[in-house]
Each structure stands twice: as structure tokens, then as C-alpha cells.
Chains A and B, each alone.
Chain A
Amino acid sequence: MKRSMIICRCEEVTLIQLKAAYESGCHTSRQLKMKTRAGMGACQGRICRHLLETWVHAKNPESPPDSELLPHRPPVRPVTFGQLANGEA
């Protein structure tokens, strides 16, 4: 694998992959997510969401910043069914 800055650690998506996806026509953060899987890993974009959205916005500063932001998915914290059943969460 070519050495490049990792943007999404969970799915191991690098800046080179993001650039390639951008050049292939993925111009919003959601399109980049669907193409590269950035933000679809174990942390659900908690780490890379801002990086990805800032990078997309920097590519095209004229566009409105909230044109197609990645969604936040509940729960805010991962909880097991066991914790729910025992009332720990």
C-alpha cells in the first residue's frame, strides 16, 4: 500500500484514496463516504467526520458548508444489550 496520510483509521482510508474518489466525481462528504467507506467503521465517523467535511469544504470553499453533511447515528455511546437489560447504561 502506498504510504499516505490516513483520514479514517477504522476503515483505513487514506488521503490518496479520497483524492482519487474526488477526481472520479464524488464531490460531497456523503458521496466520498459511499465510495471509500470513510466514516463507516467502528467509531462511526467520530474521529474522521470533521476531517472529511473540512477537506471537502476546502476543496470548494464557495459551496455552503452544510450542503450534505454526514449524519450522526444514535446511540451516542455504543451500548450492549446486556448493559441495557441490567440497567447499567
Chain B
Amino acid sequence: MERITNHPILGPLKGRKEAVSFTFDGRELTGLQGEPIAAALLASGIRRLRRHEESGTARGLYCAIGHCMECRLNVEGRGQVRSCLTPLEEGMWISEGRQLSNEITGRKLP
């Protein structure tokens, strides 16, 4: 996906950010230092950030301001973080949330 470098209201992008590399589910990707993880993934064309723990349906960026917890991801060493708020750093090892086993609760999906 294309990055906006000249915004109609905010103007041209100020200050060059360094490119950093990170890993998402085993894929080597590059993003800009300090941008939200979700933005780096979106720029790499990844919209599905996790799967719903119970039903396994796809989830992505939703509110983008840290309210909804829909974009939470696992970052190695940090646990679950909201990818819309967490700045990207060099060498981050990120994995998406997966559907979990439902054998214990036995709850049936409607």
C-alpha cells in the first residue's frame, strides 16, 4: 500500500524516518522507525492483524486510537500490545493472534 507523503491538509511529510527491519509471522519486512506497528504492516500490505480467539474470523485495525483492542498483537518480550499505539523498533519479532482451542469451555458458537 502506498504511503501518504504529501497530505492535502497536513502538508508534506516532515523529517525523514530511518528504515528498520522487523519480522511478522516469520516474514521479513521493513518499516519506518517509530511509526505505529499497524502503520508499518499496512504499508506492507498486511491488513489482517489477528484472528478472533474463539471463532477465528479475521480482525484488523479498527479505531486506531487505542480504544478497541482489535489490533492487539504479540511482540516478543513485551507480550500483547496494541499495534496502533506501539512504535516500531529495529528487530521486533511480531506474531499475529491465533484462534485458540475451545476444548475446555466447550462453548458452542451460534
Residues of A within 8 A of B (CB): 1-2, 9-10, 12, 14, 16-17, 41-43, 46-47, 77-78, 80
Contact = CB atoms under 8 A, between A and B. Distances in A.
Interface in B57-77: 57, 59, 62-63, 66-70, 72
B67 A43 contact: yes
Contacts of A1: 55, 109-110
B87 to A, nearest CB: 14
Nearest to A78: B69
Nearest to A10: B69
Contacts, number: 34
B25 interface: no
Contacts of A77: 66
Given A10-B69, A41-B69, A47-B67, 9 more contacts: A1-B109, A2-B110, A12-B54, A14-B110, A43-B67, A43-B70, A47-B62, A47-B63, A80-B79
Interface residues of B, number: 16
Given A17-B110, A80-B79, A43 B52 contact: no
Contacts of A9: 59, 62, 68, 70
18 contacts: A1-B55, A2-B110, A9-B68, A9-B70, A10-B68, A12-B52, A12-B55, A14-B110, A16-B110, A17-B110, A41-B69, A42-B69, A43-B67, A43-B69, A46-B67, A46-B68, A47-B62, A78-B69
